[in-house]
Structure 1
Amino acid sequence: MASIGIFYGSSTGNTEAAANIIQSRLEKADVKNIAGISSMDELTKYDLLILGSSTWGLGDLQDDWEVQINNLKKLDLSGKKVAFFGTGDQASYPDTFVDAMGILYDAAAETNASLIGAWPVDGYEHTESLAVRNGKFVGLALDEDNQADLTGERITGWVELIKKN
């Protein structure tokens, strides 16, 4: 069984809650707040990394990730898989919905990791996002403000998807 590390940045608790639900759907995974780790090298201990962030303001990365993003880019994650999830508000910020997830994706793309977990854009009501590539989100997009009733179902489907990778 591959070792799994879920690393998140959360300011209001929505991303932390999502990380814990994702963990509950996996056989075994460690969940860690990115603000509480002593070194980004900790990420290299896992075969599968799941990185999550909320999006703030007009497409900004969550503060704790903002502090670590350059350190993430410097890691060598060759042979590892990385999946992403993000939280945002597609009604209030339809043109920057889950942009932080796209920012994490771009940073992880510099690490030589295999990036997995693309998720359909169907059922969302945003107009634009840095997290959309080739017609799909780069990972799981969640909106606790407007579509909280879909969170559990979306997490379950997405976890099944990444288990197949």
Structure 2
Amino acid sequence: MKKIGLFYGTSTTKTATIAKKVQEAFGDVKIDIIPVEDAWKKDFEQYDNIIVGVSTWFDGELPTYWDEVKPELETLNMKGKKVAIFGLGDQVKYPDNFVDGIGILAEAFENVGAKIIGLTATRGYTFDHSVAVRGDKFTGLAIDFENQHSMTDQRIKDWVEQLKKEFD
């Protein structure tokens, strides 16, 4: 398997927790963790397989660190690269924009040529709308830490097994 870079914001505790669980679920596969706050264009471009972690803030917004990096993402050449996204959201308090951060980043990476992998089913979640949904799938792994915490570890395990097959 090609080298994997995992980018996430280290300032959000829950996203950092999920990133660590994702890294551990890969077992012996080497995954480089890069804080998105410190990431530069060259950091993203050096990996063919990328995992990104994002939470959704307020009414469907990217957290500050991803919001600041997004303009740089729009200048990348990601042709031939695979990107898997996990995102955190609250389907009870924010049912109209549940895990929108996943969808926002999926679109940004696709616009620069990346292939989004790791899509997951929307069944098992209750929400009204999400820009992360295409058909009946999220464009990544949706985690609701607040309301479905007991499902988190299994969802991560299943997602990582899926990624192992989808990454080269």
Superimposed CA distance per residue, residues 19-41 of structure 1 (whole angstroms, 9 cap, x where no aligned partner): 1110111121011220122x122
Which residue number corresponds to residue 25 of structure 2?
25
The 4+ residue runs of structure 1 with deviation greater than 2 A are 9-12
Which residue number corresponds to residue 125 of structure 2?
124
Q: Secondary structure at the match of 2:85?
A: strand
Q: Secondary structure at the match of 1:56?
A: coil
Q: Distance in 2 between matches of 1:126 and 1:8?
A: 24
Which residue number corresponds to residue 9 of structure 1?
9
Q: Is the 8 A contact 1:53 1:101 kept in 2?
A: yes
5+ unaligned residues in a row in structure 1: which ranges? none
TM-score computed with the length of structure 2 as normaliser = 0.94
5+ unaligned residues in a row in structure 2: which ranges? none
Q: Distance in 1 between matches of 2:126 and 2:42?
A: 37
TM-score computed with the length of structure 1 as normaliser = 0.95
Q: Distance in 1 between matches of 2:64 and 2:10?
A: 8
Which residue number corresponds to residue 63 of structure 1?
64
Q: Distance in 2 between matches of 1:148 and 1:31?
A: 23
- Alignment pair present for 1:158 and 2:156: no
Q: Distance in 1 between matches of 2:12 and 2:77?
A: 31
> What amino acid is the match of 1:36?
D
Q: Distance in 1 between matches of 2:155 and 2:76?
A: 30
Instruction: State percent identity of aligned pairs.
Output: 43
Aligned residue pair count:
164
